[in-house]
Amino acid sequence: MSETWMIFGGWVAAGLTLFLFSFLYKDNPFFKATEHLYLGAGMGWVFQTVLYQTWIPKVWEPLRAGDFYVLIPTVLGLSLVTQFFPRISWVSRYGFTFIMGYGSGLVIPLTLSTDFLKQIGGTISPFLVSEVSRATFWPLLNGAIVAAGFVCVLVYFFFSVEHKGAIKKASTVGIYFLMLYFGAAFGNTVMGRFSLLYGRFDDLYKYSGAKYFYATHVILAALVLYFVISHFTSRKKEAEEEAA
């Protein structure tokens, strides 16, 4: 990429970032325009990626080479588009039937194995005789806490028995485990959001250099100027309306 395009890209990136952040002060036309541009650019990127990296090498080129088998999945895929035409929308059922059939066949057994059976196994395994005989105290305690939390949370979500007595106590412990999870998840979420914000600031700092002709500074100053002018013009307008 040439130096000019790099600088231009820096100005666009800095501008769009600042326009989106400007919403934190108040809604404005720059934010609105950037919001729409984001959606359009995102869809455009996905479209060209699918066109050049999937459609052309996987459909167009095999067809040109005389491999007509690719027409079967292509037609099934294209049948989904008939959803947009009510008179022939029934054709899409063939595509959906295929997706449902192979999707269910792949997903159901593996989900049961990965997220159900293996998790039960993982909870029990620290207490197997072979494991206990060679384990030290801390892994056993860790396993016991995980197993206790697992059972108590399941009890909390078991609604067919009235929650009183021992069931209520177990269910209350289950709530505490859930709260611990939510706390950890929330803490991580805050850290994640700060990381993303830091990433944008890091880029804005990069674009504020002389190499990019102070893109961040210039756009930020222009944005502040816009808000100052907008503040005074809107006040003037309000005063005129009040006077009328």
Partner 1 sequence: MKTYIEKLLKIDRRLIFLALTLLLVFPIIRPLGLPNVNLGTEVISLYNKIESLPPRTFILISLDYDPATRPELHPQAVAILRHAMRKDLRVGMLTLNAGATGLIEELGERIPRDIAPGKVYGKDYVILPYQPNPVAVLTQLGMDLHQMYDKDRNGAPIKDMEVFKGIKSVRDMGLGICITGTALLDYWIAYTGDKFKFPMAGGVTAVSQAGYGPYLQTGQLKGLVGGMKGAADYETLIGVKEKGTSGIDALSLAHLMVVTLIVLANLMMLWLKYL
Contact residues toward partner 1 (CB under 8 A) are 24-25, 42, 45-46, 49-50, 53-54, 57, 103, 106-107, 110-111, 113-115, 118-119, 121-122, 125, 146, 181, 184-185, 188-192, 194-202, 205
Q: Which is nearer to partner 1, 24 or 161 (CB)?
A: 24
Q: Which is nearer to partner 1, 48 or 168 (CB)?
A: 48
Q: Which is nearer to partner 1, 94 or 150 (CB)?
A: 150
CB of 181 to partner 1, least distance (A): 7
CB of 194 to partner 1, least distance (A): 5
Quote the CA–CA distance of 148 and 140 in Å, as a whole number: 12
Q: Residues 59, 62, 66, 69: what is their CA dihedral angle, to the nearest 10 degrees?
A: -60
CB of 160 to partner 1, least distance (A): 25
CB of 238 to partner 1, least distance (A): 20
Identify the CA nearest to 179 among candidates 153, 204, 197: 153
CB of 73 to partner 1, least distance (A): 10
Q: Which is nearer to partner 1, 120 or 239 (CB)?
A: 120
Give kind and range of the element (H or E) at residue 140: helix 137-156
Q: Which is nearer to partner 1, 85 or 111 (CB)?
A: 111
Question: Phi-psi bin for 165: left (phi > 0), alpha (psi -120 to 50), beta?
Answer: left
Q: Which is nearer to partner 1, 163 or 200 (CB)?
A: 200
CB of 47 to partner 1, least distance (A): 9
Quote the CA–CA distance of 83 and 64 in Å, as a whole number: 28
Quote the CA–CA distance of 212 and 196 in Å, as a whole number: 22
- Give the residue carrying structure tokens 């600088």: 7
Q: Which is nearer to partner 1, 92 or 149 (CB)?
A: 149
CB of 41 to partner 1, least distance (A): 10
